[in-house]
Amino acid sequence: MPMLELAVLFGYFFVLIILGMYGWHRYFLVREYTKHKDRAAGPVPVVPDNELPMVTVQLPFYNEMYVVERLIDSVAAFDYPKDKLEIQILDDSTDETAQIAELAALRLEARGFIVSYLHRTDRTGFKAGALDKGLNVAKGEFIAIFDADFVPEPDFLKRTVPYFLVNDKLAVVQARWGHLNADYSLLTRIQAVMLDGHFILEHGGRNRAGCFFNFNGTAGLWRAAAIPDAGGWQHDTLTEDLDLSYRAQLKGWQFLFVPQVVALAELPVEMNSFKSQQHRWAKGSIQTCKKNLPQILQADLPFKVKFEAFFHLTANFNYVLMLALSLLMFPAMVVRYEMGYAEWLVIDLPAFFLATFSVANFYSFSQHEAYPVTWKSKLKYLPAVMAVGIGLTVNNLRAVLEAVLGQESEFKRTPKYGVQKAADDWQHKKYHQSQLLQPMIETALGLYFTSAFIYALYNGLWGSLPFVMLFQFGYLYLGLSSIYQQFVADEAPARAHVS
């Protein structure tokens, strides 16, 4: 066999095997989730109103004029003693949002709420800086945090705060994210499935197994004393929540995930906003990996905790492998066809099974757990979920490389438009994000896999077609959606002006 063909096959199978190991890790999480059901969060401890502690609710945001009033109103509706509830409006806005938020604060103050409006003009530390500024003057023993796109239920605090009162070592209670607009589009349906998997099985599995998991930056509470004890909010990563979570657990603090408490939030409806969010999370996780993983591996912790932290914090490095797999799949398919590929199935199929079926199993099981009655109706979105995970390769690989190379970037919040139903408009609103080069690369990769699809179809490589189609759809969907939505967003103001 020529050396070039051998190198192609070796690289292809090497990448598949590594991805298969991370696919096996998904089975591990499902196993830990089901094995330790007895360790799930129990019923809410009963605490009379007169024994409830002071809670500070922090609402950090930046230029969110379409949703911030909705958030403030939902927090004002909390079923919690008003004299034990402090609301901090942490506003870094530079547009009309500032006036909307300040007026909302004045209305709350007139209704007898303990409220403070803290406006910054320099955005030092971005969200972490705003949270730290609020923490320095907070009155609460516990800190609840909600991003601008959330709409928590009135009983949120009463269903979470009591857990702290029966465990002095508990630092965080994290609720599950729900979805205000999951049925808005294919993109929002895909995101809903992905987030359900993250919360139900990643958080649930890790928490039940006694491993570290992370506060998600919103829809959860901190014991105020635990934050400075763990080193406080730091802004040398884009995921200040993940960073602080690991530092706190290294100090011995405990976390609790309560999946039965669901805080609804608005999912991004614009492809470029979705990509921006994924880029921030991927880059921040690698920054946190570089910062904290060496300490975790050297700490006096059980092997399983270190093992799980390693897979958690290194997962986004897979996007390097995904790009390699994307480039190698077509030539490897050609080489195997020309040499007679049957003998390679003993390696090929098991690796693909681990790398792909594990994803389907992971998300289908999480849907069953989250929606016991309707979960089967959501299974039809699993191929699209897998395809989008592949299509994010270019976007998240760029994030990984920026983190590895130490390239700093601004904290770009994910803009929301107050979109909850199909009739709601976002095209005529502000905050659109633009990309050009990256969608073109994604589209080019999609066309590359279109060629691979035609080759496989012509040569009767039926077993390869499903995998090729996942890559083809994923890249084309992300690339063309970005280009199309950017064109729609650019044209919408002009059309509105003409009309």
Q: Side by side, which strands form the sheet with 220-223?
A: 114-119, 85-91, 55-61, 142-145, 220-223, 170-179, 254-265, 150-151
The closest of 171, 191, 181 to 151, measured between CA atoms, is 181
What is the per-residue pLDDT across 401-458, written as a single tens digit (0 to 9) for each?
A: 999 999 988 888 888 898 888 778 887 888 877 778 999 999 999 999 999 999 999 9
Positions marked active-site: 92, 241
Helix, strand, coil % in the chain, rounded to nearest 5: 60, 10, 30
pLDDT computed for residue 130 by the predictor: 97
The stretches of 165-237 forming alpha helices (DSSP H) are: 186-197, 204-209, 226-229
In order of their start, the domains of the chain are 3-33+316-498 (no CATH), 43-305 (3.90.550.10)
The closest of 180, 201, 175 to 259, measured between CA atoms, is 175
CA distance 413 to 126: 10
- Supply the Cα-derived Rg of the chain in whole angstroms: 24
User: 113-125 as b/e, with b when 16 or more CB fall inside 10 Å?
Assistant: bbbbbbebeeeeb
**pLDDT averages per 10-residue partition of the chain, 499 residues:** 82 88 92 95 94 98 95 98 98 96 97 97 94 97 97 98 98 98 95 97 97 97 98 96 98 98 96 95 97 97 97 97 94 80 56 74 96 95 96 97 91 85 81 85 98 93 86 97 79 41
pLDDT computed for residue 145 by the predictor: 98
CA distance 373 to 42: 22
Angle at 476 between CA 475 and CA 481, to 5 degrees: 110
Cα 395 to Cα 351, 435, 474: the distances in Å are: 25, 11, 12
SS3 53: coil
Chain-centre distance of CA 493, in angstroms? 31
pLDDT computed for residue 350 by the predictor: 63
CA atoms within 13 A on the CB side of 439: 19
What is the per-residue pLDDT across 31-52, written as a single tens digit (0 to 9) for each?
A: 999 999 999 999 999 999 999 9
pLDDT computed for residue 241 by the predictor: 97
Write out the H or E segment, with its range, that includes residue 205: helix 204-209
According to DSSP, the β-strands at 170-179 and 220-223 are antiparallel
CB-count burial class (<10 Å; 0-12, 13-18, 19+) for 180? buried
| Most distant CA atoms of the chain, gap in Å | 81
pLDDT computed for residue 17 by the predictor: 85
What is the per-residue pLDDT across 111-151, written as a single tens digit (0 to 9) for each?
A: 999 999 999 999 999 999 999 999 999 999 999 999 999 99
Do the beta carbons of residue 26 and residue 359 sit within 8 Å? yes
Do the beta carbons of residue 17 and residue 349 sit within 8 Å? no
Q: Which amino acid is at 22?
A: Y
pLDDT computed for residue 352 by the predictor: 65
Do the beta carbons of residue 389 and residue 305 sit within 8 Å? no
Do the beta carbons of residue 328 and residue 439 sit within 8 Å? no
